[in-house]
Amino acid sequence: MSITAAQVKELRERTGAGMMECKKALVETGGDMEAAVEHLRKSGLAKADKKAGRVAADGAVVHAAEGSRAVLVEINCETDFVAKDDNFRRFAEEVGNLALGAADVDALNSARMASGDSVEEARQQLVAKIGENVQVRRLSHLDAGDGVVGAYIHGGRIGVMVALSGGDEELARDIAMHVAALNPAFRDAADVPKEVLAKEKEILVAQAADSGKPADIIEKMVSGRLNKHLAEITLTGQPFVKDGDITVGKLLSSRSAQVISFVRLEVGEGIEKDESDFAAEVMQAARGG
C-alpha cells in the first residue's frame, strides 16, 4: 500500500523517530498508525537496553515544591549537549513535578506522565529519540512542616533545598545558595559524628606532637584547630557566602531562625566518568558507528 508523507510526518511527531524509520514502520504495519507507534516503541526499547550500560554522568537536577514540601531529582544523560536539549529538559521538568508524589525512584518510574506513558516508558522513548543513555538516578524529599522551604538551582547541575524553622523563604533561599557554593558536610557541630571528630583529633594530635611543645600547649593547639575544622565543615560555622563578616549561624540567630535540614544534589556525584576521545566519538557518529 502507499504510505503518504502526512502519515510519516504524524508518526515522526508522535515518536521522534527518523523519517526513514517511520516510513519503514508504516510499511511493515500496513499503514496502521497505532501499530507503527508500538513497533517503534519496541525498537526504542531495544535501543534503550543497548545504551543502558553507558555512563551517564551529565544531566540536570530539577526542583518542585508544594507548600512546605519540596523535592529534588537528578536525571542523567551522557553529555552536556543533551542536558541542554529541549526534549531532555521537558522530560526532566515533568518528572520533577511527578516526584513530589513518589516515595522513591521505583515509584517515580511507575508514575504516569501527561502522555499516559509511565516515566520509564517515556525514558525509553527519549533514549531512542536522542541517542544517549538517560537515567532517573535519585530523588530527595524535604518537608518543613510548619516551617518554610527555600531552594536554589545553580546552572541546572547543583540543587539545594533548605528547611527552616522561623525566617522566611528568602532567607531559606539565601542559605540554599550558600550550601550550593560551599557544600558543608553537616548542619552544625552537634551533627558531626563522634567518630569523625575522634579521627580528626587523632590527626591533629599527631601533627602537633612534632612541634616539641609541652602537653598543655599541644592540647590548646589541638582544641583551636579542631574548632576551626568544625567551622569549615558545618553550615552554621561557615562565613556566610553573601557576607563574609558573619557566620551562617549568626545570620540565622539574627533572624530568629534555625535550619531543620538541608539537601544538596550535584549532577554526577559518585559516578566514575569514562575518559574518552571526543573527536573520535564525533567521527564514529558521523560514520554511523
Q: What is the full DSSP assignment across 17-63?
A: --HHHHHHHHHHTTT-HHHHHHHHHHHHHHHHHHHTTS---EEEEEE
How far is residue 268 from each of residues 103, 195, 200, measured CA to CA in Å?
Answer: 22, 28, 28
Global confidence as pTM: 0.75
Q: What is the mean pLDDT of each run of 10 residues along the chain (289 residues)?
A: 84 71 87 85 60 77 96 95 95 97 96 95 89 93 96 96 96 97 95 91 81 79 89 96 96 97 94 59 54
Query: What's residue 289's pLDDT?
Result: 47
**Architecture in CATH for domain 53-143:** 2-Layer Sandwich (3.30)
d(CA 234, CA 134): 34
Domains 5-51 and 53-143 share a fold: no
Query: What's residue 218's pLDDT?
Result: 78
CA neighbor of 14 nearest in space, from 117, 152, 98: 117
Which grid coordinates belong to 220?
Answer: 590548646
d(CA 167, CA 217): 42
Query: What's residue 212's pLDDT?
Result: 74
Q: What is 5-51's CATH number?
A: 1.10.8.10
The Cα angle at residue 248 between residues 243 and 250, in degrees rounded to 5: 95
Query: What's residue 49's pLDDT?
Result: 55
The Cα angle at residue 197 between residues 193 and 200, in degrees rounded to 5: 140
Query: What's residue 93's pLDDT?
Result: 97
d(CA 205, CA 212): 12
d(CA 28, CA 49): 23
Residue type, 235: L
Query: Domain residues of the chain, as ranges?
Result: 5-51, 53-143
**What letter does residue 132 receive in the DSSP assignment?**
S
Query: What's residue 61's pLDDT?
Result: 98
d(CA 274, CA 8): 38
Q: Regarding beta strands 243-247 and 58-66, do their DSSP bridges make them parallel or antiparallel, or are they unpaired?
A: unpaired
d(CA 133, CA 140): 22
Q: Contact, 147 vs 68, CB < 8 A?
A: yes
